[in-house]
Amino acid sequence: MISKNLTAASTKAIILGILKQGNSYGYLIIKKIKKMSGGKMEYSDGMLYPVLHRLEKDGLIQSNWTMSEDTRPRKYYEITEAGKQALLEEKEQWLQVNTVLEKLWNLKPDTNY
C-alpha cells in the first residue's frame, strides 16, 4: 500500500488527470484510482469528497447532477479550463520531484552535488 501522506499529496493531480479523460462521479473515480494503482491506493468517500468540493470551489472542476431511469441521481464532475492548466502545473512539479528522486536513487556513494 502507498502511504496515506503520499496518497494525499498526489490526490489533486490524480483527480484532475482522471477528469481530463472524461466526466466521472465519485464512486467511479475511487474505482479508477484503485484499478490504476493495482490496488495500492485506496480512497474512501471521506477522503475524496472534500477534495472534490475544494477543487470545485477553486474553479478547477465543475459538477452537475445527472438523472437516469435505471440508476439513482449521480453528481458528475468535469475538469474546467483552469483545471487543465492546474493539471499541467501539477505534472511539471511531479516530474521535477521524480527527477530529484531518480538522481538520488541512482547516486553512487560519496558523490558530491
Q: How far is CA 70 from the centre of its chain?
A: 29
Q: How many CB atoms lie within 10 A of CB 28?
A: 14
The residue ranges of every structural domain in the chain are 4-105
**Which cell numbers in the block locate residue 8?**
494525499
Vertex 42 angle, CA 88 and 64, to 5°? 60
Q: What is the mean pLDDT of residues 65-83?
A: 92
Res 112 pLDDT > 90? no
Architecture of domain 4-105: Orthogonal Bundle (1.10)
Query: How far is Cα 111 from Cα 103, in angstroms, rounded to an integer?
Result: 11
* Per-residue pLDDT at 33: 96
DSSP state of 12: H
Is pTM, for the whole model, over 0.95? no
